[in-house]
C-alpha cells in the first residue's frame, strides 16, 4: 500500500517549519495514532501468519516479509483492547527494535502528517495508564486527537523489562 503525502493546506496540519516532525498515521479501534516516520520501514497487508505457541498475548504470530521472519505484534492487544470481530484484511507497519523486525498490526494505515514538534502536548490526565506508558504525547488536530506512540515502549515487553 502506498502512503500519500499529507495535503499541507488542510487545517490541523502545519506548514513551513524548519523542524517539522513527520508521522505515519494509523487507526486502532477508531483512535488515530502516530508513528514517527523515521522508525517506519514498511507498510503492508498481512496475508498469512503463523501462530507461536506459548507466546505473549501481544504476539499475534510470525510473518514472512520478503523472505525475512517478522514478529507480528497486535497493537490492539498492546493497548489493552480486544481483537476485532471481523476477519477483514489486516494492515501492518514494519518497524525495527533491538535489531529485530516487527510488524505492528493495525486496523488502518492513514496518511503522513507533518507537525510542529512544539505543538505536542502531554498525555491527557485521564488517559488509560496502558496508553500513557506507550505514548509520547498528543497533537490536537482540527477534528481529532492524534496520540504519538513511543515505538520503543510499544515493542518492549514485560519479559524484556524484567530481564533488564
Tens of pLDDT, residues 37-55: 999 999 999 988 999 999 9
pTM for the full model? 0.82
Strands (E), 13-89: 21-28, 31-36, 40-46, 59-65, 68-74
Distance CA 59, CA 105 (A): 10
Q: What is the pLDDT of residues 136-151, one digit of tens each?
A: 999 999 989 999 999 9
Residue 54 DSSP one-character state: T
Angle at 26 between CA 134 and CA 112, to 5 degrees: 110
Amino acid at each position: 500500500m502506498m502512503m500519500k503525502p499529507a495535503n499541507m493546506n488542510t487545517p490541523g496540519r502545519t506548514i513551513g517549519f524548519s523542524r517539522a516532525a513527520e508521522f505515519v498515521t494509523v487507526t486502532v479501534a477508531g483512535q488515530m495514532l502516530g508513528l514517527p516516520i523515521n522508525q517506519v520501514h514498511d507498510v503492508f497487508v498481512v496475508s498469512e501468519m503463523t501462530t507461536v505457541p506459548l507466546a505473549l498475548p501481544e504476539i499475534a504470530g510470525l510473518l514472512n516479509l520478503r523472505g525475512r521472519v517478522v514478529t507480528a505484534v497486535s497493537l490492539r492487544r498492546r493497548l489493552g483492547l480486544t481483537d476485532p470481530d471481523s476477519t477483514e484484511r489486516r494492515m501492518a507497519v514494519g518497524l525495527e527494535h533491538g535489531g529485530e523486525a516487527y510488524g505492528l498490526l493495525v486496523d488502518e494505515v492513514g496518511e503522513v502528517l507533518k507537525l510542529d514538534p512544539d505543538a505536542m502536548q502531554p498525555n491527557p490526565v485521564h488517559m488509560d495508564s496502558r496508553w500513557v506508558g506507550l505514548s509520547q504525547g498528543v497533537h490536537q488536530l482540527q477534528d481529532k486527537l492524534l496520540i504519538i506512540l513511543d515505538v520503543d515502549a510499544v515493542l518492549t515487553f514485560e519479559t524484556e523489562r524484567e530481564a533488564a
